[in-house]
Amino acid sequence: MKVTVLSGGVGAARFLEGLSRTIEPASITAVCNVSDDLTWHGLHVSPDLDTLMYTLAGLEGEQGWGVRGDTQTTLERLREIGDEEWFSIGDRDLATHLYRTGRLRAGNTLTEVTQALMSSHGVKVNVLPVTDEPHPTIVRTAEGDLAFQDYFVRLRGAVPVTGFEFPGRDARPAPGVLRAIGEADLTVIAPSNPFVSITPMLVVQGVRQTLARMPGKRIAVSPIVAGAAIKGPAATMLESLGYEVSATAVAKLYQGLIDLFVVDTADEALLPEIRALGMDAVATDTMMTGSEGRARVARNVLAAAGFGESVA
């Protein structure tokens, strides 16, 4: 059984970690968003790829990103020197960005560098950046167009969003991405932000079409539970874009792309309206609390998709 997961950052990482302890890690491919990537003082930082790596390696920080217990010697010194630094990077985390940047400058692709990094971290899940090309998300706001991290980290997502722009929307998929989606028995859209994690991947050449036509099962797990986002700015974005803040609103965004939408038991009442969108829908426990919670959610989602049995 081959499972492909379209992945953003923290939510996807936790889901994948649970999944990798439920089925053979080598049978899982994570196609990962790179539209949050940024150049930080000349270094290529890929927040979502790194969140997957640290989480799957059991190293993730308490907020879900960075390296647990990391020090900030360099960052503190940078601030002392007078740098108005708002992006927080620890000393061990920094090594990842230096390594990636060095290898990219030496002519390696992001796919190759990601493979080397995952391997050095003992990660068995096959993690693929959705593209090797630059493909940033631009967040349109009342205060002008912003790079994603500028909006999300520097401004703490506190400025109303009016839309998104993907100047790299013609980016070509990285090697293996279309095959991983097209040949999977099951493709899961992770409980990630639909606007800035999933959509940027869908606009990469061939991804949406491959997902729409794949013969296997296609499911999505709602990142919205009981009208709120588990993590990140999904709820705020839905609201400022004029959507209802609900699992149903997310299901609508995936209409025509998925067979089944999985909501949390807290949203069981929404099942009829989601089914009315022309997709199957089930409610199950999707709260990934702790290590056991992650594995339980993975098993429940697999069961909802018809693979294996659910657990309480």
- The footprint of its own copies (CB under 8 A) covers 39-44, 71, 73-75, 77-78, 80-83, 91-92, 94-96, 98-99, 101-102, 105, 116-117, 120-121
Looking at beta carbons only, is 112 or 259 nearer to its own copies?
A: 112
Q: Is the distance from CB of 245 to CB of 234 less than 8 angstroms?
A: no
Q: Report, in Å, the least distance between residue 250 CB and its own copies.
A: 36
The structure tokens listed for 66 are 């960075």
Q: What is the DSSP secondary structure assignment for residue 196, as one 8-state letter?
A: I
- The amino acid at residue 57 is A
How many angstroms separate the CA atoms of 71 and 52, rounded? 20
Looking at beta carbons only, is 44 or 296 nearer to its own copies?
A: 44
Looking at beta carbons only, is 63 or 73 nearer to its own copies?
A: 73
Q: For residue 55, which of 47, 46, 65 has the smallest C-alpha distance?
A: 65
Residue 226's SS3 state is: coil
Looking at beta carbons only, is 101 or 162 nearer to its own copies?
A: 101
Q: Report, in Å, the least distance between residue 96 CB and its own copies.
A: 7
Looking at beta carbons only, is 91 or 273 nearer to its own copies?
A: 91
Q: Report, in Å, the least distance between residue 64 CB and its own copies.
A: 20
Count CB-CB contacts under 10 A for residue 299. 21
The radius of gyration of the chain from alpha carbons, rounded to an integer in Å, stands at: 19
Q: Report, in Å, the least distance between residue 202 CB and its own copies.
A: 30
Q: Report, in Å, the least distance between residue 109 CB and its own copies.
A: 16
Q: Report, in Å, the least distance between residue 119 CB and its own copies.
A: 8
Looking at beta carbons only, is 76 or 143 nearer to its own copies?
A: 76
Q: For residue 36, which of 173, 130, 170 has the smallest C-alpha distance?
A: 130
Contacts of 199 (CB under 8 A, 6+ apart): 164, 166, 253
Q: Where are the beta strands (DSSP E) in the chain?
A: 3-7, 28-32, 38-40, 43-45, 126-129, 138-141, 144-147, 161-165, 186-189, 217-221, 224-225, 228-229, 260-264, 280-284
Looking at beta carbons only, is 6 or 113 nearer to its own copies?
A: 113
Q: Report, in Å, the least distance between residue 293 CB and its own copies.
A: 30
By CB atoms closer than 10 A (0-12, 13-18, 19+), residue 227 is middle
